[in-house]
Amino acid sequence: MNSSTTEFTLKPYVEVEGEEYMNEAQLQHFTNILNKWKSDLMQEVDRTVHHMQDDAANFPDPNDRATQESEFSLELRTRDRERRLIKKIEESIKNIEAGDYGYCETCGVEIGIRRLEARPTATLCIDCKTLDEIREKQMG
């Protein structure tokens, strides 16, 4: 499994007609997803640390040394992205605990079950995210 994706063995949430949005079952479903994702990322971080400790060598050949440093640098950048993702996951778990999970932080509307399953750390509804990306594109 690629550690930077949300491909889990957990099944998609099956909505029941008329059920309340972000009810206990939904919150538990997303808590499970977020905790599993965080656990997988933490295992990947541990593997990287052990790999770098075990494979660190002082190659006499400058090309070999440069290749290893380049590989380690790439791994560290990937782990840094994952560290930021872990922070977002932890924020999402706190939002669940606070009762704010699943609602757009800009306009307050429901983000939606399917969007949250695709991106469990989403904090914006699709409309606000689209506007945000348009503004970013115009300014960038």
pLDDT in tens, the chain (140 residues): 444 444 446 789 999 999 999 999 999 999 999 999 999 999 988 887 777 776 667 777 888 778 888 888 888 888 899 999 999 999 999 999 999 999 999 999 999 999 999 999 999 999 999 999 999 999 97
Interacting residues of 35 by C-beta distance below 8 A, sequence separation 6+: 93
**Residue-wise over 58-88: b if at least 16 C-beta within 10 A, else e?**
eeeeeeeeeebeeeeeeeeeebeebeebbeb
Task: Delimit the CATH 1.20.120.910 region(s) of the chain.
Answer: 21-101
pLDDT of residue 2: 44
Q: Which residues are annotated as a binding site?
A: 104, 107, 125, 128
Is the overall model pTM greater than 0.75, yes or no?
Answer: yes
Which residue intervals of the chain are DSSP H helices? 24-55, 62-98, 113-118, 126-139
CATH T-level fold of 21-101? Four Helix Bundle (Hemerythrin (Met), subunit A) (1.20.120)
pLDDT of residue 10: 79
Q: Which residues are annotated as a binding site for Zn(2+)?
A: 104, 107, 125, 128
pLDDT of residue 133: 96
